[in-house]
Amino acid sequence: MAATVFVLNGPNLNLLGTREPDIYGADTLDDIAGMLEDRARELDLEIDLRQSNHEGHLVDWLHEAQAVGARAVLLNAAAFTHTSVALLDAIKAIRTPVIEVHLSNPHTREGFRHKSFVGMAAHGTIAGFGPTSYLLALEAAARLA
């Protein structure tokens, strides 16, 4: 049975492809899911991709990832990255490694995006490579023990 990697996406990522394509690109979340599923098969992994505009859903899904024994979580918390102590606490509360993912590079953007509560507890961060950020994070997850 293949190990599962949760791919959790926060607010407004359901609008990828149409939302600020100059920053986030033209790929939709479904496009990214397809790329991840293809690569996951090659790595003998399964993907459980979810998106919510609600912080509590992301917290619940982090808890669920540990409860079901997920290999890792790829988390693009979007704007919650910079505001959510709840996500920080949830990541710290579980043993499942969390890899922070961003399409853009937050450090080249507005100052308020330079602080990451997610990054304070994440195993690592991959940012700035567009959809390839997710693929790089999946590669990293596959190498976790």
| C-alpha angle 88-98-96 in degrees, rounded to nearest 5 | 100
Maximum Cα interatomic distance, the chain, rounded to a whole number of Å: 44
Helix (H, G, I), strand (E, B) or coil at 133: helix
Catalytic residue among 102, 107, 114, 123: 102
What CA–CA distance (Å, rounded) separates 59 from 67?
13
Indicate if 102 belongs to the active site.
yes
Please identify every residue annotated as catalytic: 24, 102
